[in-house]
Amino acid sequence: MSVAAEMEGMARRAREASRALAAASGAAKDAFLSALAGLLETRRDEVLAANAADLAKAQAAGLDAPRLDRLTLTPAVMDAMAKACREVIGLPDPVGAIESMRPRPNGLLVGRMRVPLGVICMIYESRPNVTIDASILCLKAGNAVILKGGSEALASNLALAGLLRQALAEAGLPEDAAQLVPTTDRAAVAALCKLDELIDVMIPRGGEGLIRAVVSQATMPVLKHYKGVCHAYVDAGANEGQAETVVVNAKAQRPGVCNALECLLVHVAAAPTFLPRVGQALRRAGVAMRACPRALPLLGEGAVAASSEDFGHEFHDLILAVKVVDSMGEALDHIHRYGSGHTEVILTEDHGRAMDFLRRADASMVGINCSTRFNDGGELGLGAEIGISTSKLHAYGPMGLVELTSAKFVVLGQGQVRG
């Protein structure tokens, strides 16, 4: 069987399973989540052994440190996946919820009902935990999911997909509601991208190259973000101790992820005192700094002159671009030019400027006096997260249960006819 035929067969099974899942009770979906949480705990060693095999191959192939980090499963990560299952159980089921019911002059009641998107295809790299996080959200929202992980995580993903299908069966739901593409052939992605009559939406999650490849080929809608170029702007009069803590966390806590800080903008009035202290703190955290001419002499050792390519760049590493600006307006202009619509934060004690920044900074999350690392579905109360969308249709920001549904109009009448 050709790869294209194999992908079409998977998509047809997913389409059929999606009909059953759309009609499934909340109790059945929660039973699946409970069973899956238990399996993630009782069969942890089996999954970790598969992941160890993937890691050994990846290391032999020379995979870089950030990608190895994203590939790695640990007992703590396994516990977090089980915890996410139980947290999603506690979230309201959006399917069937009716919003904004209102009367019309003719007596009709018009509202909107939340409905599943249908079949979602996830294409992702490295992170095997996406296999679980994406699936539990898709399935609770009534969608079937096709999973295409990276070749470097195949053994891990196969082990996790086996747990998904077992948990679905135990809950009386169709196993084909969650299917993992078993081949590493790149032709599989191209084939899936052409199945717009069977797959409702593609969600690529990974590097910019992967996402652009999916966007260029897909014949169905794509929910995406190309990269995470996240900025923090330190305003004049900011609480410098607080700002230092936030900046170091945003850059150094986990530098290889999309919500890590990539560029620090500092008001000229704050720069003489703030940049020396934050430079010292960043050096202690192992961060290399690439600075504009005004920032460079204030940062001390560990800073080098920035090139034009350093601004707007997603480093995925312990590297930070730093620039001094004359005003918040200049900071916003810089963000408009170099930002990716992912995450922007302001560190300030001025309420008026904080509110102005909230309105004017265009990103899927805008924060005041907090780390960029909070742009994450779990941290924002969504339970788990399927990804962060920086396209404004049909979701903006981390995608949880509600974002994995659409809304249809429902009309309740008593015999009304149109004149």
Identify whether residues 70 and 102 lie together within a single domain.
yes
In a domain, 394, yes or no: no
Share of the chain above pLDDT 90, in %: 87
pLDDT for the residue numbered 47: 98
Q: If we measure between CA atoms, which residue out of 192, 187, 204, 60 comes closest to residue 126?
A: 204
**pLDDT at residue number 394:** 82
Please indicate, yes or no, whether residues 251 and 198 belong to a single structural domain of this protein. no
Mean pLDDT of the chain: 95
Give the domain range for residue 172.
Answer: 3-226
**In contact, 315 and 341? CB cutoff 8 Å:** no
Spatial separation of the C-alpha atoms in residues 328 and 333, rounded to whole Å = 9
Q: How far apart are CA 347 and CA 370, in angstroms?
A: 7
**Is residue 397 in a domain?**
no
Q: Are residues 222 and 236 in the same domain?
A: no
- Give yes or no: residues 59 and 205 share one domain: yes
Question: Could you tell me which of 346, 351, 285 has the C-alpha nearest to residue 319?
Answer: 285
Check whether residue 78 and residue 197 sit in a common domain.
Answer: yes
Task: Let me know if residue 392 belongs to a domain.
Answer: no
Q: Are residues 98 and 213 in the same domain?
A: yes
Q: Where are the beta strands (DSSP E) in 278-364?
A: 288-291, 303-305, 319-325, 343-347
First-residue to last-residue Cα distance in the chain: 56
Query: What tens digit of pLDDT does each residue of 156-166 get?
Result: 999 999 999 99
Read off the pTM: 0.86
Asked whether the CA dihedral 340, 341, 345, 351 is positive or negative, the reply is positive
Q: Domain boundary residue among 226, 257, 275?
A: 226
Whether pLDDT at 282 is above 90 = yes
What CATH number does residue 171 fall under? 3.40.605.10
pLDDT level of residue 100 (50, 70, 90 thresholds): confident
Rounded (to 5) percent helix, strand, coil in the chain: 45, 20, 35
Contacts (Cβ under 8 Å, ≥6 apart) of 214: 123, 189, 193, 202, 204, 222, 224
Return phi, psi of residue 382, to 5°.
-90, 0
**Count of beta carbons in the 10 Å neighbourhood of residue 105:** 5
Is 362 domain-assigned? yes
Is residue 95 domain-shared with residue 137, that is, in the same domain?
yes
Which CATH number do you get for residue 343?
Answer: 3.40.309.10
Size of the chain, expressed as the number of residues it contains: 419
Question: In which region does residue 206 sit, left (phi positive, over 0), alpha (psi from -120 to 50) or beta (all else)?
Answer: left
pLDDT at 130: 92
Q: Are residues 24 and 66 in the same domain?
A: yes
The answer on 278 and 180 residing in a single domain is no
pLDDT at 151: 94
Does the residue 350 lie in any domain? yes
Is residue 401, in this structure, part of any structural domain at all?
A: no
Asked, for residue 99, whether it belongs to a domain, the answer is: yes
Res 137: pLDDT: 94
Residues 366 and 220 occupy one common structural domain: no
pLDDT confidence of residue 338: 97
Does residue 294 have a pLDDT over 80? yes
Domain boundary, last residue among 226, 259, 274 = 226
Q: What is the pLDDT of residue 410?
A: 97
**Which candidate, 34, 84, 222, 70, places its Cα nearest to that of 149?**
70
Quick: pLDDT tens for 175-214.
999 999 999 998 999 999 999 999 999 999 888 888 999 9
Q: Does residue 225 register a pLDDT over 90? A: no
Residue 83: the pLDDT is 93
Binning pLDDT at 50, 70 and 90, where does residue 407 land? very high
Domain-ending residue, one of 184, 211, 226: 226
State residue 336's pLDDT score.
Answer: 97
143 part of a folded domain: yes
Cα distances (angstroms) measured from residue 213 to each of 151, 181, 202, 273, 338: 16, 18, 12, 45, 22
Mean pLDDT of 373-401: 86
Check if the beta carbon of residue 193 is closer than 8 Å to that of residue 214.
yes
Q: How many domains does the chain have?
A: 2
Q: Span 382-411, mean pLDDT?
A: 88
Q: What is the pLDDT of residues 304-318, one digit of tens each?
A: 999 999 999 999 999
Q: What is the pLDDT of residues 59-69, one digit of tens each?
A: 999 998 878 98
Is there a contact between 126 and 150 (Cβ–Cβ < 8 Å)?
Answer: yes
User: For 330-349, what is the mean pLDDT?
Assistant: 98
pLDDT over threshold 90, residue 372 = yes
What's the average model confidence in pLDDT over 335-363?
Answer: 97
pLDDT at 182: 96
d(CA 339, CA 419): 52
Instruction: Say yes or no: 204 and 315 in one domain.
Output: no
How far, in Å, CA of 228 to CA of 388, rounded? 10
Let me know whether 184 and 293 are in one domain: no
